[in-house]
Chain A
Amino acid sequence: MTDGLIPPGKYFMQGNIACAEAALIAGCRFFAGYPITPSNEIAQWMSYRLPQVGGHFIQMEDEIASIMAIIGASNAGVKSMTATSGPGFSLMQENIGFGMMIETPCVIVNVQRGGPSTGIPTLVGQGDMMQARWGSHGDYEAIAYVPNSVQEFFDLTIKAFNAAEEYRQPVIVLADQTIGHMYGPLVVPPHEEIKIVNRKLPNVPPGVPDFKPFDAKYEVAPMALAGMGYRIHVTGLTHDEKGYPYYTHEVSTWCVKHLVSKIRNNAEKIWEVERFTLDDADIVVITYGITSRPAYQAVKVARSEGIKAGMLRLITVWPFPEEVVRKVSEQAKVILVPEINMGQMIHPIREVAECLVIGLSWAPGAVQTPDVILDAIRSVSR
């Protein structure tokens, strides 16, 4: 191994392990978590691998402590991650908001299982799509990536770290039990070809008077780390550029607008989608994650039957690629939205679509077979 990182090459690997190896390549050197199926292999592998690369792993007492530990570690300058599933993700919500408020880069991987509550721990679900966007109270803009293969779980974990560093905020990877537990081909590129982003640090020395850790002149302010000598204060309270609580509507306006604008202004840069036989499609299936896998096959069979079907796959669900979806809807007659939930991403799609949008809700516990989606395509094509 070079530097203790996974060597470039081809592997046949489990999704969760690929995620952990990707985190290490991205520079993650701290993991705090609490065991939960079906994300456990990530924590297990990190506990084994982090000491080999000079990092640290802590099993915390719960998920509330886990998210706080990674926020703390990141504020000390260490790229940090946690991994969980539905119930743990629920527990983390308050402090995901804290991470947003104090602008702390970190990555939260949610390997989704069936819910609500304890739900169906060992089986697949996509029920946390909206929670990833609106789970914590107050205004913020989430970034969430949704992988549909082992390779993409690897690639998007690195991208999640990069986005977290670039925009100084928690970033979510919304995997699911099937992708997490599945083994598939993984190509690890030469490390020097992998883009790694690191947060900007202040370009003034510690001790300068009037130093502002949340300086409004930046879209994303350079991050003064604990221990570097800067006089900094972080708080979950509405704060000014210096980081101190300040309770006026004016400061609140700046603070909240700043948090949402840094993402809204860059949304088109963050958006990622895959277009599959979309060019002349009048029936468009919009998918994300594992649900795209049966959809590829359904769309191919539909095409072979002469139906003009295509698929738009959302790789980033948040920020929601609304312009892309709106454009696709201009040429489509119908949009079908298969999800492993009772209808979540159908809502932002409906909000922007200019054609009929039909949800194909599906209870957690199994992935739709291609036939389920194909039948829907056939029935709307008539």
Chain B
Amino acid sequence: MVRWDISLFGFGGQGIIRGGQILGEAAVLEEGKDAALSIAYGPEQVGGWSRADVVISDEQIDFPLVVKPDVLIVMSQEGLDRSWKEGRIPRKQLIYDSGLVDVSTVKGIKMVGLPATKIAEQLGRRIIANIVVLGAFSEVTGIVKHESLLKVIRRRFPKAIELNEKAFMEGVRHARGGGAVV
């Protein structure tokens, strides 16, 4: 059985939970896998911490919660700090928004950083930073295929397909370069 525990951590308004939904939906509907998404967030609507935990497996998932992620995606400094404080340090891979997260204290973990929010701003919509990150995640880990995620993204955002595809592929491109430190 191949099981992946993935955690996306950022703040309310960044589309963290939406990112988790897209990831889970792509795994379940496009790749026939099992997935479970659980969400947690601080009391504030926007700006408080927000976390999406996604378990993806090619077999039926027994325990659906993430205790320690294999892959951690952080889009805020608090996301990184809280994860370390709570012992939710990734086993395999850290992906981070290099414009928002300082990883100078992190040692001994495979890391890929990309300025996802800056990239999204340059494309004209800050709120698609989560899509940029999903592109990077897919490229770096291969856990969910590009096309599976793109299918879900097209279905979910029919009015902004081109923009979202561009954001996704920008994430892929930056991750392919090992994560440009911009």
Contacts and interface: CB of A to CB of B under 8 A. Distances in A.
A178 B38 CA distance: 7
A293 B63 contact: yes
Given A181-B39, A184-B36, A184-B37, A12 B24 contact: yes
Interface in B12-54: 20-21, 24-25, 28-29, 34-40
B64 interface: yes
Contacts of B111: none
A122 B43 CA distance: 9
A10 interface: yes
Given A181-B38, A300-B62, A370-B62, A12 B67 contact: no
Contacts of A198: none
Interface string A121-134: 01000000000000
A278 B173 CA distance: 51
The A interface is mostly helix, strand or loop, or mixed, namely mixed
A370 B65 CA distance: 10
Given A12-B25, A369-B67, A183 B62 contact: no
Nearest to A296: B62
> Interface range on chain B: under 10, 10 to 19, 20 to 34, or 35 or more?
10 to 19
A182 interface: yes
Contacts of A370: 62-63
A12 B39 contact: no
Contacts of B37: 12, 182-184
Interface in A174-225: 178, 181-185
B64 to A, nearest CB: 6
Given A184-B35, A185-B35, A369 B25 contact: no
A90 to B, nearest CB: 23
Given A182-B37, A183-B37, A294 B24 contact: no
B67 A183 contact: no
A184 B37 CA distance: 7
Contact of B28 (A182, A185, A297, A369): A185
Contacts, number: 54
A294 B28 contact: no
A296 B63 contact: yes
B63 A294 contact: yes
A296 B60 CA distance: 11
Looking at A10, A12, A122, A293, which has the most chain B CB atoms within 10 Å of its CB? A12
A122 B50 CA distance: 13
Contacts of A122: 40
Contacts of B34: 184-185
Contacts of A294: 62-63
A67 interface: no
Contacts of B25: 12
Contacts of A281: none
A144 interface: no
Contacts of A183: 20-21, 24, 35-38
Interface in A300-340: 300
Nearest to A368: B63
Interface of A: 10-12, 122, 178, 181-185, 293-294, 296-297, 300, 367, 369-370
User: Nearest 5 pairs between A and B by C-beta?
Assistant: A183-B37, A296-B62, A12-B25, A297-B62, A12-B28
6 contacts: A12-B29, A12-B37, A181-B38, A185-B34, A293-B65, A297-B63
